[in-house]
Amino acid sequence: MKAHSDANRPLNVALLALPEVTGSTLHGMFDLFASAGRDWAYLTEGCQKEGAAKPYIVARDKVPVAAFNGVTITPHYALDDCPRPDILCVSDFFIPPWESCAGRFEPEVAWIKRCYEAGTAVASACSGALLFAEAGILDDQDATTHWGFCEAMAKMYPRIRVHAGRTLVVSGNDQRIFMSGGGTSFQDLALFLIARFIGVGAAVEVAKVYLLDWHDAGTLPYAGLVTAKQASDAQIAKCQEWLADNYKQGTPVATMVEMSGLPERSFNRRFSRATGRSPMDYVQSLRLEEAKQILETTDLSIEAVAHEVGYEDSSSFSRLFRRKTGITPAQYRKRFAALRQALQA
């Protein structure tokens, strides 16, 4: 579903150009958004169609911006005269991980905060998440950034829950903050946003046009990467916090019911209302996300992986994994561990 009420116009996607921005990330995201709904039809049918998204580059002033490697980026708009974005994307920029960016980008940070508070979805690639931290919109939220910045970010902004091992994280009000890690993860981020706001079919088409085979089975393999909404209900939030470290145990839902002091039906109702998921679905999501990490990084057997994340029956685990991701655990390992292994060779 699109992020705006007028489905007849393309999605407005603003890409923020900062001094020392990485040009490949900024222009790469621009190209992927511009391709959505346009290039696949042209390549397969010869049809020229208007794209489903309208990306544009925004900077503090409408003057050229020097990218990190010396490329000159020409913005389409300044902060105070750009069309209201449906999605605001902040690319990575060069800054030493241990160096604070406080006070360096005050106009941009204020603009990000205004857009977010007005209902815009905001997305960051790599170090771009630092501007979200400065804007205060990540306080008490889950977040990720490039692995080289995670430790420093956690120290500089102690209210943020930084996840170094996550490739994609979604958090914030109405799940409107999207963050990816480093390197080419901006491609995953762009495809994820296209799938979320334009459609899964459009994301698959873009992946095929650009030979991004990570999503060739659709977006289901990444579905578990969307974090569940953090509960405002204090009792449920306490259970979420406990579950983050104890989801492997045999009866986590029963334990949370006991912790809450609520009747089981009341607990289930409040948990679903607070998080958007049933307690068991929430547990399964945490377990499957851990299973993905193990499959990517180890040679453990499928039976051992199932046991590691809390399933005694590996057949049940495999059926659940396929139902939730669209592929088997073995297929997931083959697809996502291959690149990691090649880089480590």
- Residue 335 CA to residue 292 CA, distance in Å, equals 11
Q: What is the CA radius of gyration of the chain?
A: 21
Look at residue 340 and tell me whether its pLDDT is greater than 60: no
Q: pLDDT by residue (tens digit) across 124-151?
A: 999 999 999 999 999 999 999 888 888 8
Residue 213 tokens read as 């085979």
Look at residue 302 and tell me whether its pLDDT is greater than 60: yes
Q: What angle do CA 166, 328, 211 make, to 5 degrees?
A: 65
Q: Calculate the dihedral angle through the C-alpha atoms of 202, 208, 214, 216, rounding to the nearest 10 degrees.
A: 80
Residue 161 tokens read as 């829950």
- Residue 107 CA to residue 78 CA, distance in Å, equals 11
In the chain, the domains with their CATH numbers are 11-225 (3.40.50.880), 234-344 (1.10.10.60)
**Residues forming a β-bridge with 57:** 15
The percent of residues in the chain predicted with pLDDT above 70, rounded, is 89
Q: Residue 16 carries which DSSP code?
A: E
Question: What is the model's pTM?
Answer: 0.63
Cβ 202 vs Cβ 50: under 8 Å: no
Residue 81 tokens read as 């005269």
Q: pLDDT by residue (tens digit) across 238-294?
A: 898 898 889 888 899 999 999 999 999 999 999 988 887 899 999 998 899 889 888
Q: pLDDT by residue (tens digit) across 47-106?
A: 888 899 999 999 999 999 988 888 899 999 999 999 999 999 999 998 888 888 888 999
- Residue 189 CA to residue 56 CA, distance in Å, equals 17
Q: In sequence order, which ranges of the chain are alpha helices (DSSP H)?
A: 23-35, 39-45, 106-117, 129-135, 147-156, 185-197, 200-209, 234-246, 252-260, 264-275, 279-297, 302-308, 314-325, 329-344
Which of 39-43, 108-112, 221-225 is most confident? 108-112
Which pLDDT band, with edges at 50, 70 and 90, does 344 fall under? very low
Q: Up-side HSE of residue 50: CA atoms within 13 Å toward CB?
A: 7
Which residue type does 20 have? E
